[in-house]
Structure 1
Amino acid sequence: MREIVLIAGFATRHVVSSARRAGYRVVAVDHFCDLDSGWYVDDYLRFEELADLPDAIEEIRSRNRIDHLVLTSGAEEVVCPGISRAGTSPEIVSRFIDKMKTQEFFEGISVPHPCLAGRDTFPVFAKPITGAGGWRNAVISSRKEMDAWIEKIDLPYMTQQIIEGTPASVSCLSDGRRAVAVAANEQILRGDGESSFGFAGSITPCDHPLAGEMMVCAEKIAAATGCIGSIGVDFVLSDEAVAIEVNPRFQATLDTVESATGVNLFSLHMQACAGILPQMRPEPRRYAARRILFAEDDCIVLRDLRRFGSFIADIPPIGTEFSKGDAIVSIFGYGGTRDAALRMLDNHISIIAPYLA
C-alpha cells in the first residue's frame, strides 16, 4: 500500500505534483486549490486565512489516513501531534522564519551577508522580519519614505545595507548535519511597483561566474542550520556571494530545479529526512525557466486554461477574480541554453496573455 502524505501550506501545487511523481498518494490543504493541484491529489481542502490552517488540517486528517506531514510556506510552524513530520522541527524553523535571528545566524557562522543599517542611514533595504516572497521589501531613501512604509506594512521590520547584484538562490538537501546543493537558481523579481522585490520566477541553472562559490557557501549554511530535508538559501551575487535568507521548506524554484536536473525533489527530501543524501550534486541537463504572470488590472478568468497544461501551472478555475497585482498563473520554458529557454518562455507567455486580458 502506498504511503499517504499530507502537504499543507499557502501554496502547495509544486510540492504535491512532485510528491505524486515520487509515488506517494497525496492529500493537501491549500489557499488556492488550483485546477492542476486536483490532478495530483486524492483529497484536498481550501482555507481562506492562515489562521484557519490548523482546523483545515484537522478536518482533512479526520477523513484520511496520514503517514507523513510536509509543511510549505506559511505553515512551517504548525504543530500536528500524532503525525510523522517529514522536515525541519518547529523549533528550528522558528529561527529562520525570523529574519533578525537569521541575521544573527549568518554572523555566527561568518558568511558574507548584508550588515544592519543604522536608524537614520539612507538609502537602506527594508523588510518585515517575518513573511515570504519578498513582496513587502523596499529600498527606502528618506525618513519620510520610511515612516510611510512602516505605516503601510504595520509589522516588525529590519533595515540592511543595500547589496547590488543578481538575485539568486541554491536548493539544498540536509540531514541536519550535512548538506548537498542540488541546483543554483537565478531568481526573477517583479522589478517595478510597490512589490518590485517580489518573487516572480526562476531560471535553473544559474550560470553566473559566482554560482560555484554560492553553492559551496549554501552547503556550509544549510549544514549549520540543523534543518532537515529540502532547504533553500537566497543570495545576491555581487563582488561575492552574499547570503540573504534561509528558507527551511520546499522553495518556489522546485519546478525549474526538477525540469533542469531531472531529479525528483520530493523523493530526495524524504531520503534526506531518513538521513540519506546524494553522493554528489546532480548535473543540469538543460535550462528551465518559470515566470509568474500578475494581473495588470482587476480581471476575471473567463476561459478554461487547462488545455495549456503542458507549459503552464497554478491554473485558476473559470470565474476566478483577481485584483491588480495578484499572481494569476505560472508559465514555463526550457532549452539547451539560457537564451533558448527564455525564448520558449516568451513564446508561451504570448500564447497565454490574450486569455488574461
Structure 2
Amino acid sequence: MNGAIQRILVAGFSTRHVVSSAVRAGLEVCAIDNFCDQDLRNLVFAYERFEELAELPDLIRRFCSEQKVDAVITTSGAEDLVNLPVPILGTDPAIASQFLDKELTQRFFEEHGFPVPARALPGVFPAMLKPCRGSGGWRNALVTSEEDIRAWESIFPGEPYLLQELAPGIPASVCCVADGNRAKAVAVNLQILRGSREARYGFCGSLTPFRHQMADQMRMMAERIAAATGCCGVLGIDFLVTDTSITAIEVNPRFVATLDTIERATGCNLVRLHIDACHGVLPEVIPEIRRTCIRQILFAPQDLTITSDLSHLIPDVADIPVPPASFEKGDAVISVYGEGENESSARLALDKTIRRVSQYIG
C-alpha cells in the first residue's frame, strides 16, 4: 500500500462496507453517506449524512475544506463525480460513467464479443426491462405485454430503459481488481435477490464462495471483461450462470456489495487490494477460501420503530440503525451474517442470527 495515503474519505449512497475494510487496512476514515448507521459512526473520525445524491458534490467539497483528506473512494451514486478537491482513488469517472448506463454497457459487451442477453425485438415477450441508470436491480421488471411496459413507464415517467430477451441462469458475480489494463479475479459469489413483489430483482445479499462447476470459467471471463473496461481498483462483474453457459449482465465500476462476504470468507482486505491496484500492483495469487460466509439484508415486515441499540449483536450484524429508527413496510433494516465450514453450516448460522434479530424487528 502506498504509505502516502493515510486519510481517506468514502463517499456515496452506502459506504459502511468500504469504511469497515479501510479501517481494517489501518487507514483513518471519514464518510459521506445516505444512512450513517450506528456501526459506521463508530468507525470514522467524521461523517456527514445526505438525503439526495445531488447534494454530494458540494458536500464533498465542503467536507474536504474542513477535514484533511488524502484521497476519496467513491461508492454507489458517486462513481462519475468530477472536479473533486482531492484525488479519486479508483476508476476514472469518465470510464465509470459508461458502465453506469446499461445501454452503453450492452454495447460494450456486444462490441467485445462477450455473451450478453440479446436485445428484445419490439412486441416480443416476455422480456426483461431495465432502467438505463440505477444500481442494485431494484427497478428491473419482467414484462409480458405492452401494458406491462406502460405500467412501468407510469411509475418512472421519462426514464430511459433497455429491453432484453430473458436469459437463463443463477445470478452470480465475480469481484476483480484491475489496474486499467490487467485484472485479477478475487472471488466468485452467489447473488441473493429479493425474489418477490415489485423489487424481486433487487440485490439483498450474497454468499461467498459460490461453488459452481462454471466458477473457473466465470473467473476467466470476468478477468477479460474487467481488463477491457479500463477500470482501476475493485470492480464487480455480474453474470447469469447455468451448468453449460455464462451470460454477462453488468459491470459495476465501484466497490462491490459482496465485500463483506468476500473478506470474511478469504481473510483478504479489499481496500488494500484496491489501493495496490490503483498503483499498478495486482495480487500474484487469488485469496484462499477459508470459510463460507452469507449476508442477507432484512426488510421491515410492517411499519416499525427500533428503539434498541443492536450493536451488541456485532459481528453477526451490520448496517445497524441509530435508535430510535423508523421504517416503513419493505424498507431495508439491517444486514445479518452466517459463517461456517460450508454453505449448509453458514446458512444454519444465518438462520440463528435472523432469529436473534427478529425479536427486535419482528
Q: TM-score, normalised by structure 1?
A: 0.98
Is this contact kept in 1: 2:266–2:287, CA < 8 A? yes
1:176 aligned onto 2:169: no
C-alpha deviation, 1:73, in angstroms: 0.3
8 Å contact 2:64–2:86 — kept in the other structure? no
**2:220: which partner in 1?**
216
- Which residue of 200, 205, 208 maps to 1:204? 208
Shift of 1:63: 1.3
Instruction: Find the residue that maps to 1:158 and give its secondary structure.
Output: strand
Residues 73 and 88, structure 2, Cα contact 8 Å, conserved in 1: yes
Cα deviation, residue 111, structure 1: 1.2
Q: 1:183/1:212 Cα in 2 relative to 1: closer, same or farther (>3 Å)?
A: same
1:244 paired to 2:249: yes
Equivalent of residue 80 in structure 2, options 62, 65, 77: 77
Q: Is the 8 A contact 2:57 2:84 kept in 1?
A: no
Q: Does 1:11 align with 2:14?
A: yes
Cα contact 2:8–2:71 (8 A) shared by 1: yes
For residue 66 of structure 1, report the CA deviation from its aligned partner.
1.0
Structure 2 unaligned regions, length at least 5: none
Distance 1:317 1:94 in 2: 33
| 1:40-82 superposed Cα distances (whole Å, 9 cap, x missing partner) | 1110000011011112212221211110110000111111444
Q: How does 1:295-334 map to 2 (within 5 A)?
A: 295-334=300-339
Q: In the alignment, is the contact (CA less than 8 A) between 2:301 and 2:329 conserved in 1?
A: yes
CA positional deviation for 1:94: 0.8
Kindly indicate whether residue 171 of structure 2 is the aligned counterpart of residue 167 of structure 1: yes
2:88 is paired with a residue whose SS is coil
CA distance in 2, matches of 1:353, 1:140: 34
Q: Distance in 2 between matches of 1:138 and 1:215?
A: 28
For residues 133 and 81 of structure 1, the distance between their equivalents in structure 2, rounded to whole angstroms, comes to 25
Work out which of the residue numbers 136, 140, 143 in structure 1 matches 2:139.
Answer: 136
1:138-192 per-residue CA deviation (whole Å, 9 max, x = no partner) reads 1111111111012112211011011121100000000000000000000000000
Match of 1:65 in 2: 68
Following TM superposition, by how much is the alpha carbon of 1:2 offset from its aligned partner in structure 2, in angstroms? 6.8
**Conserved? CA contact 1:173–1:181, under 8 Å:** yes
After TM superposition, the runs of 4+ consecutive aligned structure 1 residues lying more than 3 A away are: none
Say yes or no: does 1:343 pair with 2:348.
yes
**2:222 match: secondary structure:** helix
CA contact 1:136–1:153 (8 Å) conserved in 2: no
Secondary structure of 1:194's partner? helix
The one-letter amino acid of 1:285's match is: R
Paired residue secondary structure (2:200): coil
Give distance in 2, aligned partners of 1:230 and 1:138: 28
Offset, 1:202:
0.1
Q: TM-score, normalised by structure 2?
A: 0.97
Q: Give the letter for the 1:70 counterpart.
A: I
Partner of 1:101: 104
Partner of 1:260: 265
Aligned twin of 1:194:
198
SS in 1 for 2:198: coil
| Counterpart residue identity of residue 255, structure 2 | F
What SS does the corresponding residue of 1:251 show, helix, strand or coil?
coil
Q: 2:33 aligns with which of 26, 30, 34?
A: 30
Identical aligned residues as a percent: 48
The residue type paired with residue 127 of structure 1 is K
* Alpha-carbon displacement from aligned partner over 1:217-268 (angstroms, at most 9, x marks no partner): 0000000000000010000012311100000000110000000111000000
Root-mean-square deviation (CA, aligned residues, Å) is 1.1
SS at match of 2:77: coil
- Pairwise CA distance, 1:207: 0.6
Show the counterpart of 1:111.
114
Please report how far the alpha carbon of residue 316 of structure 1 lies from its aligned counterpart in structure 2 after TM superposition.
Answer: 0.3
Whether the 8 Å CA contact 1:69–1:85 is kept in 2: the answer is: yes
Tell whether the 8 Å contact from 2:64 to 2:85 is kept in structure 1 after alignment: no
d(CA) in 1 for partners of 2:50 and 2:211? 39
Q: Is the 8 A contact 1:204 1:257 kept in 2?
A: yes
Q: Distance in 1 between matches of 2:66 and 2:139?
A: 37
Q: Any unmatched runs of 5+ in structure 1?
A: none
Query: In the TM superposition, what is the alpha-carbon distance from 1:211 to its structure 2 partner?
Result: 1.1
Inter-partner Cα distance in structure 2 for 1:284 and 1:350: 27
Q: Hey, what's the Cα distance between the residues in 2 that align with 1:44 and 1:190?
A: 30
What is the number of residues matched between the two proteins? 357
**Quick check: 79-88 or 206-215, which moved more?**
79-88
Q: Which of residues 32, 43, 53 is equivalent to 2:46?
A: 43
**Structure 1 CA distance for aligned equivalents of residues 333 and 287 of structure 2:** 32
1:295–1:327: 8 Å Cα contact kept in structure 2?
yes
